[in-house]
Chain A
Amino acid sequence: MSFLQNNIYYIGAFGLILIGLLIVLVKHNLIKVIIGLSIMDTGINLFLIAIGYLRNGTAPIFSSPEVESVLMVDPVPQALVLTAIVIGVAVLALALSLAIRLYKHFGTLDLRKIKELKW
């Protein structure tokens, strides 16, 4: 039980990443694939945050001059996640706009039916 308690964030993070990857690999609907990518992104963000976590730590913010700098979590992964979230949003927006166009052209989002370029 203590194994689960100690590693619950890692398990959750990689659970999300692997679920996302599985969706990308086996699903045929483009929207589902995009959702899979998004789940994977979320998992990665959780993983990065978990890397920098310190047990019983607080946020690294000195909101008043009295706050002491003991037991603060690592600020670097948080900064990285901020960047990673923005990049995720950017890719998501682009993917959805492509999905709109794809639907206009092909009338379907089923990736099995969109195979004109295979030789």
Chain B
Amino acid sequence: MRSVFSLILLVVIGAGVVFTLSSIPFGSTSSDVGEYYIDSGRADTGATNIVTSVVVGYRAFDTLGEVTVLFVAAIGLGAILAAGRENEEKKKAEWEPASLVLYTGCRFLFPLILLFGAYVFIHGHLTPGGGFQGGAIIASAFLMVYLGCRKKRISKTWARNTESISGLVFVVTGLTGLAVGGHYFLSNFLPEGTLNTLFSAGIIPIIYIAIGLKVGSELTGVIDDLIEESE
């Protein structure tokens, strides 16, 4: 009964969607806003990756919200898992230690992955990539250590403080723009530099580094919370 109703609902939605899509032909739509970004994105923000100039330049406020969403989810996850854990006695499960090959391999790869993650977010304004991608790569390095080296744990305070400080850097950069850079929140107050060089694009690299560190430490915190739960 329920599935019949659901199917009817889906058919109705599908029909409506097909009807509307007929006015948006595939592969030829071009928007004024998008074209403007491609034409003057480099001059406006100094970033050669136009997606970055949209994410951290034109729509930086969205990104601030996005960082906050992830922050909210990480805290929420911590709160939910902590709320149930209080009235349970802790029992430590004994983990079988990982084999030597796995252990050494993880330790060898860990700094390389971190380096790669840092590269991705530092070069966000020049090449594909950016803070979120770099942060996810960094968190994956920690996930590997958790899985491969088992007993190793990060310090919770350290992760929380990194998260907190990098979030603050984002907001304070925005507020500095409000104070000195033409009186707009999140406006660029640093020189744009030469295109296609590392030190260019004003505040974009600063924000992307902050986001990279924040996302990295946040996702690591989430992994840490979940792994603690399984013990």
Contact = CB atoms under 8 A, between A and B. Distances in A.
Report A-B touching, CB under 8 Å: yes
Interface of A: 6-7, 9-10, 14, 18, 21-22, 25-26, 50-55, 59-65, 69, 72, 74-76, 78-79, 82-83, 85-87, 89-91, 93-94, 96-98, 100-101, 104-105
B77 interface: yes
Cβ-closest 9 pairs across A and B: A90-B73, A74-B34, A60-B50, A25-B6, A55-B27, A62-B48, A79-B54, A97-B77, A75-B50
Interface stretch (B13-21, B96-104, B179-187): B13-21
Interface in B1-52: 2-3, 6-7, 9-10, 13-14, 17, 21, 24-31, 33-34, 37-39, 41-42, 48-51
Contacts of B6: 21-22, 25-26
Nearest to A55: B27
A82 B49 contact: no
B80 A6 contact: no
Describe A's contact surface by its main secondary structure: helix
Interface of B: 2-3, 6-7, 9-10, 13-14, 17, 21, 24-31, 33-34, 37-39, 41-42, 48-51, 53-55, 59, 62-63, 65-66, 69-70, 72-74, 76-77, 80-81, 83-84, 126-128, 130, 132, 195-196, 222, 225-226, 229
B74 to A, nearest CB: 7
Contacts of B127: 61, 63
Residue of B27, B30, B49, B81 most packed against chain A (CB within 10 A): B27
A2 B6 CA distance: 31
Contacts of B51: 59-61, 75, 78-79, 82
9 contacts: A25-B2, A54-B29, A60-B50, A60-B51, A63-B48, A74-B30, A90-B72, A93-B77, A104-B84
